[in-house]
Structure formats: C-alpha cells, structure tokens
Amino acid sequence: MVGGCSPLSYSSSSTFIATTTLSSPTSLFPRSFLIQCPLNLRKPAPLRCLSSLTMESPKPILDFEKFDDGFVQKLVYDALVWSSLHGLVVGDKNLSEIRNPGENDFFKVFGPAFKRNARWSVNTRVPDLGDENTPVKEVDSYYNFWYAFKSWREFPEEEEHDLEEADSREEKRWMERENARKTQKARKEEYARIRTLVDNAYKKDPRIVKRKEEEKAKKQAKKDEKVMAKKKLEEEAAAAIEEEKRRKEEEAKLAAEAAQQQKKKQGEGEEASKLCDKMENKEGLKLANVLKNGNNDETETAAMV
C-alpha cells in the first residue's frame, strides 16, 4: 500500500511528520501527502500515529535519517489504518466554499463526502444521495436522516491524560473530567462539522433548488391570481357604480322628458280650454242674437194681428 516515505521531521511539540507516496492512491488519499502524528507513547501504537492529513508541509525543525524504511513504512501503515478506523475526513471543510456547483459537480463533490461520514452512523441503513432524477420525497427523507444523524464515533486521541499515571484518586477524577470535557468538545465539533456539510449540501442541492423555485413560482402565481381577482372585483364594482350612475341619469332624463311632455300637454289643454271658452262665448252671443231676433219677429207678428 505504501510506496515510500521521506525522512521524518520532528518538533518540540512531540509531533512527527512523514511524507508518503501511495502505490494505489484512492479518492480519500492522494498519491502524495503528509502525515502529522502526535507522539503520545501512552496510547496503543495505531492511536498515536495520526492526527491529520494535510497537503501543506510545515517547516521541519530536525530531520531524522536514522530510521530505516521498514520502520517508517510500518509507522505510516499504522497511521493509515488508524485513519480508516477513526474516520479521517479530508476536504469536507472546503465544501462550504463551493458557490453554485452544477448538477453533475454537486453529486460528484457531495456524494463521496457523505459516504465518508456515513461510516459513523449508528443506523447502518444509510440512504443514498441519489441523482437528479431521485423523487423529491426520497430527497427529503435523505436530508431528514442526516439532520437527525447519530454518530458512534469516539475520540480517543482527545484523552490527553492517562488515568494510570494519576497519583491520587482526586487527580484521577480530575483527569477523567478533563478527558471527558475534551472528548465532549470534539464530539460537538464533529456534529457541527457534519451539520455544516448537510446545510451546505441542502442549500446547493439542485433538486431542492428546483423545488424551491417551483414553489416560489406557484406562490407568485397564486399571489398574481389574487391580485387579478381583486382587480377584477374592483373593475366590476366600478362598472356597477358606473352602470348605476348611468341608469339614474337615464331615469332622470326620462323623468324630465315626461315632465316636459306633461307640461306641454297641460299647456295645450289650457289653450284648448280657453279656445273652448271663446267658442262658448261666441256661440252664446250668437244664440242670444238668434233669441233676440226671434222675439222681435214674434212681436211684429202679434202686432199685425
């Protein structure tokens, strides 16, 4: 598995650094990388071998060339075994820097990241991230799983104090509290790291983004529909008011015309009445003359007799 190692570098912080080259690089480990390990001799060999992998080499303080290749390779091998057992995750912190990955980039980047963390799941039935064709219901179930993620991972490297070295019961209890405090801190940081990974994935998941856009469009459509319905009601109300105004104006106009016609008829009636009165006066005068003339004729006839 290990192709070769460079001389070790040693610092006063009890840390050694080895550069190694893998004969069969994987997606987790590049071909050439650095191993930085705390030299805690109180822990079993695999547990004292590795604290982190990094692509940046710190400046060496002292080179150790006295170690043979076999020893170094064994040390590096133990470190790799330890990393595989204790969940060394490379690059997850950089996922938050991805701004707007495409659909293919999203699944290529976040898929392996979730798989690397899935090893710590208490529930062994870890769902798959899927692809762009995965139903949204399954996508929701996937993120519900990760937001409720329970990890069985332990942090033995955080147990700084060896209880067997305690000189008294009080010191042993103090060591236990300190170890528990640091382990709890590491556990909180671990959950925060996973939560950050899940949050970043959820924000950038093209399926979630698509659904949010669709929901936003539907919400906007409903809003526009309400606005249009309100506008229609306002227009109908304005039209009804205008129609009522027109109807009243028409009724007033008809009433005015009817009153004018009535007045005209009344005037014509008065004129007719006056004319009748005149006619009656003329007929009466004529009748009076007739009667008068008739009386005169009778008088003359009587006188002749």
- Report d(CA 273, CA 35) in Å as an integer: 131
**Pair 90, 36: CB distance under 8 Å:** no
DSSP-derived secondary structure for the chain: -EEEEPPEEEETTTEEEEEEEESS--SSS-SEEEEEEE--TTS-GGGGS-SEEESSPPPPSEEE--S-HHHHHHHHHHHHHHHHHHT---SGGGGGG--S--HHHHHHHHHHHHHHHHTTBSSS-PPP---TTS-HHHHHHHHHHHHT--B----GGG--S-GGG-SSHHHHHHHHHHHHHHHHHHHHHHHHHHHHHHHHHHHH-HHHHHHHHHHHHHHHHHHHHHHHHHHHHHHHHHHHHHHHHHHHHHHHHHHHHHHHHHHHHHHHHHHHHHHHHHHHHHHHHHHHHHHHHHHHHHHHHHHH-
**Pair 107, 129: CB distance under 8 Å:** yes
**Torsion sign over Cα 45, 51, 54, 58:** negative
Beta bridge partners of 11: 15
DSSP-derived secondary structure for 114-179: HHHHHTTBSSS-PPP---TTS-HHHHHHHHHHHHT--B----GGG--S-GGG-SSHHHHHHHHHHH
Beta bridge partners of 21: 4, 32
Output the pLDDT for position 193. Answer: 92
Q: What are phi and psi of 129, to 5 degrees?
A: -65, -30
- Report d(CA 126, CA 115) in Å as an integer: 9
* pTM score of the predicted model: 0.49
Q: What are phi and psi of 120, to 5 degrees?
A: -95, 0
Kindly list the domain boundaries of the chain, sorted by start residue: 2-86, 92-204, 206-294
Mean pLDDT by 10 residues, the chain (305 residues): 36 37 40 40 38 36 46 55 45 51 78 92 92 94 95 73 76 82 86 93 94 94 93 93 92 89 79 68 63 58 57
**Pair 142, 127: CB distance under 8 Å:** yes
- Report d(CA 199, CA 171) in Å as an integer: 41
Output the pLDDT for position 209. Answer: 94
Question: Residue 51 class from Cβ within 10 Å (0-12 exposed, 13-18 middle, 19+ buried)?
Answer: middle
Token readout for 284 is: 């009466």
